[in-house]
Structure 1
C-alpha cells in the first residue's frame, strides 16, 4: 500500500517537472514505460497519457511539431503607450492632419530604426513648431498601434476629426461662392466600407468637388482607416453631416425648391426595375445648375425614398453589352470617380 502511494506521488511530481521544463517526447515515453512496469495503477496510466498530449501541444511553433525544445527565441517585452485619442498612421494623413489643424495633437510616434526621409523630417519639424512630443519608437509597437497596417514609420495620437453640421445656409453660401460655375456636391448614402469611403474622398479632392455630405446614422465613421485610404484627403475635403437620415432628406427637399438639382447614380442591375427612359448615360448629362450627386450603398444602392428625390438618374454604360454577367458592376469608389470626372467635364467643357 505504501509503495502504491509512493509511486502515485512520484508520478505527479515528475509530470509537473517534465511539463514545466518541456522535456522531449522520447524522455517522457521512457519515463512512462518504467513507471508502468512498477505499477499497474489506472490513474497513473491516465496521467501519463494526458502528459503526452499536453507536452506535444506545448512544443514551440517554430519547432514544427518535432520532439525537443527547438531553438529558443528571446522575444522583446514591451508595453503599449497610453493613447489619448485615435492613432493616425501613414505619412500623408499625418502631414495633412498637422497642416490643417482640425484636431488636437497629443504625441507623435516615430520609428527609431527607419531611414529618415524628407517627409519624416517635415513631420518632425512641424511637430516641433506646434509643440507636439516626438517619441522614437520600436517598429513592433507601431505595428500594434496601427493594427498591423502600413504606417510608414509614423503614427500620430490625435483627437477624432470633427465634421461640420449640415445646415441650410451652406447651400446658399455655396451658390454665392461658386458664382462663375454651378457648385457640385456629393451625397454619400450609407457607404459602409471605410476603404471605399476614403477612396471616394480622395477622388473628390482631386476632381474638385465643392462639398461632401452624408448622414452619420448609417455610414462608416471617419476613422484613421478612412484617412489612410484617402491618402489624407479626409483632412482637407469640405464635409458636412447630419445626425439622422431624416434631417438630410428634409434639407434636400427644401433646397430642390431653391434651384438645386439632384441626380442619382444607378447600376445596370437596377435599370431593369426602373423606367429605362428615365436613366441616361453620364456622358450625356450636362451640369448647368447647382447639383447634388447621390451615391448609394455598396450592395443595395439607393433606396426608393432616395430615388424619388432625384430629378435625373444616371448610369455608366460598359464598353460592350456582351461582357461576363459575373462582372456586371463597378466598385463604388471607381464608379464615383468616373461620374465626377464626367460631370466636371460637362461643367467645364474644354
Structure 2
C-alpha cells in the first residue's frame, strides 16, 4: 500500500460507496460535501436528510485534505468502522439461502484495489463471503470500499488468525477447498458445484506452500498470451464465474 494512501477505516469517499452505505442503513456519523455539488451529490444530500444524518458543506480544498490521495468525487462520510464476521456467520448465510456454501479465501492479498474488485465480483456471483488472514493482508479501508463500488456493504468478510486451520475447519463442514495456481487441473474441467472455497494468492507470491498443500485440489487458468499470469482480482473473477456457471447448469438439470 502506498504510504500516502488514506487508510482511515472510519472514512469512506466517493458517491457510489456512500449511496450504498445509506441504502444499507449503515451508521453514518457525518457526511461532508463539496459546495454546489450536482447530480448524485443532491441525491446523497436528500437521502442523508431523510435519515437525519448530519451534513457539512465545505470547499474542494477541504475535501482534498480529508480524502488525502483518494478521489472523493465531492463527498466523504465518517462511519463506524467496518465490522468483521465470524466464519460461522458466513456459513449461516448460505444455510438461510438454502445454498451450498461459496467462500473466497485470500492468502496474502495486500492491494486494497484488488480486494475491492474481488468483493465486487463476489457480490455479482452470489458468493457468501470472503476470508482474509490477520497478517500479510489488506484490511477493510475506504480505498477497499471505493474499489468495491459499494459491494463492501453486502459481502461479509471474516478475519482469521490462521488460514490453514480455517481450511481444516471448512473441510470438516463439508466444503471442498480449491487453490488457484498454475500447476493444477484446468478450472473448467473440475466439478465446482458443491460447497466450495476458492483460495487466491497475493500479488507476486501466489498461494503459500502450506496453504496450497492443505487444499483438496489445485485449479489452473490456461494462458495463451505472452503474460504468464493474471492479477489476483482477475483470476478470482474467472474462477468465481465458473462456480456460478456450474451451479446454474446443475440447477437446470
TM-score (normalised: structure 1): 0.65
- Equivalent residue number for residue 106 of structure 1: 29
Higher RCO (CA-CA < 8 Å; seq separation 6+): 2
Structure 2 CA distance, aligned partners of 1:113 and 1:138?
9
- Equivalent residue number for residue 234 of structure 2: 334
SS in 1 for 2:144: helix
Does residue 90 (structure 1) correspond to residue 14 (structure 2)? The answer is yes
* Deviations 1:181-200, CA, capped at 9 Å, x for gaps: 53211111111011111111
8 Å CA contact 2:193–2:243 kept in 1: the answer is no
- Equivalent residue number for residue 5 of structure 2: none
Structure 2 CA distance, aligned partners of 1:148 and 1:182?
40
The alpha-carbon distance between structure 1 residues 170 and 201, as it changes in their structure 2 partners (threshold 3 A), is: closer
8 Å CA contact 1:286–1:347 kept in 2: the answer is no
Does residue 202 (structure 1) correspond to residue 125 (structure 2)? The answer is no
Q: Which has the higher strand share?
A: 2
Please report how far the alpha carbon of residue 285 of structure 1 lies from its aligned counterpart in structure 2 after TM superposition.
1.6
- Equivalent residue number for residue 55 of structure 2: 134
Which of 280, 287, 291 lines up with 2:185 in the alignment? Answer: 280
Q: Which has the higher helix share?
A: 1
Structure 1 CA distance, aligned partners of 2:44 and 2:94?
37
SS in 2 for 1:150: coil
Structure 2 CA distance, aligned partners of 1:188 and 1:155?
28
Does residue 253 (structure 1) correspond to residue 168 (structure 2)? The answer is yes
Structure 2 CA distance, aligned partners of 1:132 and 1:287?
44
Which of 217, 221, 232 lines up with 1:316 in the alignment? Answer: 221
8 Å CA contact 2:118–2:233 kept in 1: the answer is yes
The 5-angstrom pairing of residues 62-101 of structure 1 reads 86-101=10-25
Does residue 295 (structure 1) correspond to residue 218 (structure 2)? The answer is no
Which of 163, 169, 177 lines up with 2:96 in the alignment? Answer: 177
8 Å CA contact 1:187–1:213 kept in 2: the answer is yes
The 5-angstrom pairing of residues 10-29 of structure 1 reads none
- Give the alignment's Cα RMSD to 1 decimal: 2.0
Moved runs in structure 1, 4+ residues, more than 6 A?
none
Does residue 158 (structure 1) correspond to residue 76 (structure 2)? The answer is no
Larger Rg: 1
In the alignment of these two chains, the number of paired residues is 243
8 Å CA contact 2:9–2:140 kept in 1: the answer is no
The alpha-carbon distance between structure 1 residues 328 and 227, as it changes in their structure 2 partners (threshold 3 A), is: same
Please report how far the alpha carbon of residue 152 of structure 1 lies from its aligned counterpart in structure 2 after TM superposition.
1.3
Structure 2 CA distance, aligned partners of 1:121 and 1:313?
49
TM-score (normalised: structure 2): 0.88
Q: Please list every run of 5 or more consecutive structure 2 residues that lacks an aligned counterpart in the other structure.
A: 1-7
